[in-house]
Amino acid sequence: MKGNIPQNHLVRVFNGNLWEAQIVQGLLQSNHINCMIENDTLSAVTSPYATLGGEVWVLVNACDEEAAALLIKDSRLECNPFN
């Protein structure tokens, strides 16, 4: 964890399209790392058009950032880890 970031602070560990983010989300959740998918649309939960095209991110708690990044890297997914 970097500096004095609160444990419940969310950080981005991956960016890509929706289907890639869903694969990463499944990988993290299967390894007991809580995460969520988000994009620029504030109404992502209710808008049917929120995830059509564009970039989405996978977010994890700051305390899980290192473990999540390592899992994504080790999975050898042909995706873009967030840097």
* Angstrom distance (rounded) from CA 59 to CA 82: 10
pLDDT in tens, 48-57: 555 566 789 9
Q: Measured between alpha carbons, how far is 83 from 20 in angstroms, rounded to an integer? A: 16
| Per-residue model confidence as pLDDT tens digits over 57-67 | 999 999 999 99
According to DSSP, residue 54 is labeled S
Total residues found in the chain within this entry: 83
**Domains of the chain, earliest start first:** 10-74 (3.30.70)
Helix (H, G, I), strand (E, B) or coil at 71: helix
Please list the helix, strand and coil fractions of the chain in percent, rounded to the nearest 5, in that order: 30, 25, 45
What average pLDDT does range 20-24 have in this prediction? Answer: 93
Average pLDDT of the residues of the chain = 80
pLDDT at 1: 42
pTM of the model: 0.72
In this prediction, residue 43 carries a pLDDT of: 46
